[in-house]
């Protein structure tokens, strides 16, 4: 028994010494200028972007001597995992966020003001003011733009051509006719893959509400949902009744069906290209099967509506290695890296130097998204702390109406009541 105890004690002592040694070695590494930073996000987990994210990390590690440890989740889980990690006090230095996740994380007060890290001058020198504005909250630059464009509608030119449309429909009336023609092809193609499930359904509904002339919220934050909201919901119902849209379609389903040539229109950001390329389409040929278009308007001459979309990099205030994180962010934004990301995945670069290269300016695929960006608006929940809750309410009430449980009028009234309680 004593022998066993002695062995156990020696083992414990050895482990303690090993742990202390490891700690010293880590400190030594920090003292010698080489640091290990944690980079979090979701794209490094996705098939279409896993390789390029790996190359970004290794490229930076080779150049700087620092180590970048990737911590990733699915896009849907990223916000909650970042919050949990932050509350748990785990190391987080830099993260990839989209506009929605950015806002949620910013509300915790955990983000560093990048004006202090990069310097205001450097930021203004490298980004357009409108681009920088997306990452600003209360005068602080909390997000560093990484890739930015708009979520607009994409279409398959080949399907439209088969349906007799050489031009994209520009008004809702034309859009409905185009969908009718596509349905009449009898090829089982879903004319429009507007999202009818999960949070993306709320994101897709908003630009249609704007198209019909209303918003979810007024500028002062109170609920708006004017009479046009009822028209919008009734229009959705009509599209569903005619079989132009379907229940149980989310962004992921739409991407998959679109890539298979089984869907004519859906709403997406530039990363639609990555999906098409993953499905085997030559990057140079993507525009033949996946092109951006302006969202049809209610009356000719109206402004086409789209939602601002973008990925940002954020640096955490609690990070001990803010300088290394900033250095890594600069590497990711460098022309070579940003242009490779653009070439492989269609992610438009945002720095003045990369965005104005011939390669980007002449890209036929990107043009439609960039055109839409000029008038794109932020998702109405983008600056709300309970964005997900708001979206859930919108989606649940929309689904109830589409399923015939409530009328469009009841839908809007229920949304109003629940949103008023939630804000």
Partner 1 sequence: MAKFRNNGRLTDTQTGILLVIPGLAVFIAVILYPFISAIAMSFTDRSLLNPNSSFVGLDNYIKVFSDPYFFQTVWTTIIFVVFATLIPFTLGLIWAIVLNQGFRGSEFLRGVTLVNWIIPGTAIGFLWSWIFNGQYGILNGLLSALGIIDENISFLGQPASALICVIIARSWQMLPWYMAFLLGGLQGVPVERIEAARIDGANNLQVFRYIVIPGMRQIFFLVLILGAIGNLQHFDIPWTMTEGGPARATTTLSIEVYRTAFKNWKLGQAATVGTVWAVLLLLFSVVYLKQVRESD
Q: What is the nearest approach in angstroms of partner 1 to the Cβ of residue 193?
A: 9
Q: Which is nearer to partner 1, 73 or 122 (CB)?
A: 73
Q: Which is nearer to partner 1, 11 or 405 (CB)?
A: 405
228 binds partner 1 (CB under 8 A): no
196 binds partner 1 (CB under 8 A): yes
DSSP per-residue string spanning 223-283 = B---HHHHHHHHHHHHHHHTTSS-SS--HHHHHHHHHTT-EEEEEE-TTHHHHHHHTT--G
Q: What is the nearest approach in angstroms of partner 1 to the Cβ of residue 79?
A: 9
389 binds partner 1 (CB under 8 A): yes
Rounded to an integer, what distance in angstroms lies between the CA atom of residue 286 and that of residue 50?
20
Q: Going by C-beta distance under 8 Å and a sequence separation of 6 or more, which residues neighbour residue 223?
A: 216, 217, 415, 416, 419, 420, 423
Which region, left, alpha or beta, applies to residue 3 given φ > 0 means left and ψ of -120 to 50 means alpha?
A: alpha
Tokens of 219: 């500028």
Q: Which is nearer to partner 1, 29 or 388 (CB)?
A: 388
Q: Which is nearer to partner 1, 36 or 256 (CB)?
A: 256
Q: Of these, 339, 388, 413, 423, which contacts partner 1 (CB under 8 A)? A: 388
Site for partner 1 in 75-104 (CB under 8 A): 80, 83-84, 87, 104
Q: Do residues 374 and 380 lie in contact, with contact meaning Cβ atoms separated by under 8 Å?
A: no
In the numeric block, the tokens 């050489």 are attached to 166
Q: What is the nearest approach in angstroms of partner 1 to the Cβ of residue 247?
A: 3
Bridge partners (DSSP) listed for residue 313: 96, 144
Q: Of these, 29, 91, 234, 385, which contacts partner 1 (CB under 8 A)? A: 385
Rounded to an integer, what distance in angstroms lies between the CA atom of residue 415 and that of residue 423?
12
Q: Which is nearer to partner 1, 253 or 363 (CB)?
A: 253
Backbone angles phi, psi at 155, to 5 degrees: -140, 160
382 binds partner 1 (CB under 8 A): no
Pairing of the two strands 263-268 and 144-155: antiparallel
Rounded to an integer, what distance in angstroms lies between the CA atom of residue 151 and that of residue 74?
20
Q: What is the nearest approach in angstroms of partner 1 to the Cβ of residue 397?
A: 8
Q: Which is nearer to partner 1, 236 or 369 (CB)?
A: 236
Site for partner 1 in 24-53 (CB under 8 A): none
Site for partner 1 in 107-166 (CB under 8 A): 107-108
Q: Which is nearer to partner 1, 88 or 301 (CB)?
A: 88
Coil, strand or helix: which one is 292?
strand
Task: Give the x/- contact pattern for partner 1 in 235-274, rule: CB under 8 A.
Answer: --------x--xxxx---x--xx--x-x------------
Site for partner 1 in 166-195 (CB under 8 A): 190
403 binds partner 1 (CB under 8 A): yes
Site for partner 1 in 295-314 (CB under 8 A): none
Q: What is the nearest approach in angstroms of partner 1 to the Cβ of residue 412?
A: 15
Coil, strand or helix: which one is 314?
strand
Q: Work out the angle between the directed axes of helices 387-402 and 99-106 (0-180°, nearest 10).
A: 130
Q: Which is nearer to partner 1, 57 or 391 (CB)?
A: 391
Q: Which is nearer to partner 1, 1 or 284 (CB)?
A: 1
Q: What is the nearest approach in angstroms of partner 1 to the Cβ of residue 82?
A: 10
Tokens of 278: 């993953």
386 binds partner 1 (CB under 8 A): yes
List Cα–Cα distances, 45 to 213, 230, 399, in angstroms.
Answer: 39, 40, 30
DSSP per-residue string spanning 157-219 = HHHHHHTT-SS---BHHHHHHHHHHHHHT-S--EEE----STTHHHHHHHHHHHHHT--SB-T
Q: Which is nearer to partner 1, 89 or 301 (CB)?
A: 89
Q: What is the nearest approach in angstroms of partner 1 to the Cβ of residue 416?
A: 15
Binding site for partner 1 (CB under 8 A): 80, 83-84, 87, 104, 107-108, 190, 196-198, 243, 246-249, 253, 256-257, 260, 262, 385-386, 388-389, 392, 395-396, 399-400, 403, 405
């Amino acid at each position: 028994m004593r022998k066993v105890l002695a062995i156990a004690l020696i083992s414990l002592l050895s482990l303690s010494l090993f742990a202390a040694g490891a700690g010293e070695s880590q400190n030594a590494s920090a003292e010698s200028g080489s640091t290990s930073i944690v980079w979090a996000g979701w794209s490094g987990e996705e098939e279409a972007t896993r390789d390029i994210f790996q190359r970004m990390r290794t490229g930076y590690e080779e150049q700087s001597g620092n180590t970048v440890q990737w911590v990733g989740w699915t896009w849907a889980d990223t916000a909650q995992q970042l919050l949990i990690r932050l509350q748990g006090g785990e190391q987080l230095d830099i993260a990839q966020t989209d506009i929605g996740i950015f806002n949620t994380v910013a509300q915790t007060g955990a983000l560093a003001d990048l004006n202090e890290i990069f310097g205001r001058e450097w930021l203004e020198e490298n980004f357009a003011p409108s681009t920088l504005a997306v990452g600003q909250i209360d005068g602080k630059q909390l997000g560093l733009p990484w890739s930015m464009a708009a979520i607009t509608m994409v279409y398959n030119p080949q399907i439209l051509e088969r349906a007799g449309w050489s031009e994209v429909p520009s008004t809702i009336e034309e859009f409905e006719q185009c969908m009718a023609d596509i349905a009449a092809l009898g090829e089982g193609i879903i004319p429009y893959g507007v999202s009818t499930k999960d949070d993306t359904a709320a994101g897709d509904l908003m630009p249609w509400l704007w198209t019909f002339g209303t918003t979810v919220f007024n500028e002062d934050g109170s609920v708006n949902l004017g009479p046009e909201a009822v028209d919008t919901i009734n229009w959705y119902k009509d599209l569903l009744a005619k079989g132009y849209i379907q229940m149980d379609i989310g962004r992921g389903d739409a991407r998959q069906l679109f890539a298979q040539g089984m869907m004519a229109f859906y709403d997406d950001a530039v990363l639609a290209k990555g999906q098409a390329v993953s499905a085997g389409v030559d990057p140079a040929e993507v525009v033949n099967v996946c092109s951006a278009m302006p969202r049809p308007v209610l009356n000719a001459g109206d402004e086409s509506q789209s939602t601002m979309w973008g990925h940002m990099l954020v640096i955490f205030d609690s990070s001990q290695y803010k300088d290394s994180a900033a250095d890594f962010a600069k590497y990711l934004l460098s022309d070579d890296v940003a242009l490779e990301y653009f070439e492989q995945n269609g992610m438009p670069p945002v720095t003045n130097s990369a965005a104005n290269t011939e390669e980007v300016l002449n890209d036929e695929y990107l043009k439609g998204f960039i055109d839409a960006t000029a008038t794109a608006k932020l998702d109405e929940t983008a600056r709300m702390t309970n964005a997900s809750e708001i979206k859930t309410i919108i989606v649940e009430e929309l689904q109830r109406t589409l399923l015939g449980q409530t009328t469009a009028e009841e839908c809007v009234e229920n949304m109003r009541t629940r949103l008023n309680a939630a804000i």
